[in-house]
A = this chain, B = another copy of it.
Amino acid sequence: MDTTHIHFTGHPDCGNCPIRHRAVCARCETDELAALEQIKYYRSFEAGQTVIWSGDRMDFVASVVTGIATLTQTMEDGRRQMVGLLLPSDFVGRPGRERAPYDVTATTDLVMCCFRKKPFEDMMVRTPHIGQRLLEMTLDELDAAREWMLLLGRKTAREKIASLIAIIGRRDSSLKLRGDKGPLTFDLPLTREAMADYLGLTLETVSRQISALKRDGVISLEGKRHVSVPDVDRLLEEAGDDTDGGMLA
């Protein structure tokens, strides 16, 4: 078995399981874990495929194993706003809700680890720590959403781009705390258009601001997607973040 996969069994190498089974296994009944294992299944999607449409029945919950998925909301006239970005180990879906409240789309090739909802809910009732872990994850998501609201409502285009690069950079390599001055290198997993949907901008503005940050030496690019950041603190300053908290979720 590929040990980078997210799952809920007791595999000792499963380090980024979103419900942290390793931390709680001691408290679990073995047969409950086995039951989770039985309802688990994997689904793969190609880049660009839609996992589920807003309003569709959603009879599973899932975590991202590899690849990137986005949550987007769309208005009748086509205006779109990304409302969530799912990287490996992120969780999607909610016990107790029938239908998906937004589109879930694979922006890269994607593998998800799914659980049928009903058995998962039963499991939650029998195994309280799963619910507790889910609450913790949901609260983290809520904090991230609120940070994002500050970005959408009050930041300039340049600050938005810098923030996005900082968020992806920090998530991508799990890494570099603030104050670590080392250079930072990673791929942007989103098209300019997806970034625009994330940031509440147009793709032209995204492109212009990326060019501007490059011109000003805040970032450098190899190709269109590979970014390196010579000075992380400089980037964070451009992002308008205050110097300690924030943007971590």
Question: Footprint of B on A, CB under 8 Å?
Answer: 55, 71, 73, 75-77, 79-81, 83-84, 94-97, 101-102, 124-125, 128, 131-132, 134-136, 138-139, 141-143, 145-150, 152-154, 199-200, 240, 242, 245
Contacts and interface: CB of A to CB of B under 8 A. Distances in A.
A149 B150 contact: no
Contacts of A141: 142
A142 B242 CA distance: 24
Nearest to A80: B154
B136 A96 contact: yes
B147 A149 contact: no
15 contacts: A73-B149, A73-B150, A77-B240, A79-B154, A81-B153, A84-B146, A96-B139, A128-B131, A138-B142, A141-B142, A148-B149, A152-B152, A152-B153, A153-B200, A154-B200
Contacts of A138: 135, 138-139, 142
Given A96-B136, A139-B94, A75 B150 contact: yes
B147 A145 contact: no
B145 A142 contact: yes
Given A101-B245, A139-B97, A71 B146 contact: yes
Given A81-B153, A149-B149, 9 more contacts: A83-B146, A96-B139, A101-B146, A101-B245, A102-B146, A131-B131, A138-B139, A145-B146, A153-B199
Nearest to A146: B83
Contacts of A75: 150, 154, 240, 242
Nearest to A128: B128
Contacts of A76: 240, 242
Contacts of A81: 149-150, 153-154
Contacts of A125: 128
A150 B81 CA distance: 5
Nearest to A199: B153
Contacts of A84: 146
Contacts of A150: 73, 75, 81, 83
A164 to B, nearest CB: 13
Contacts of A94: 139
A79 B241 CA distance: 12
Contacts of A148: 149
A84 B245 CA distance: 19
Residue with the highest number of chain B CB atoms closer than 10 Å, among A128, A150, A240: A150
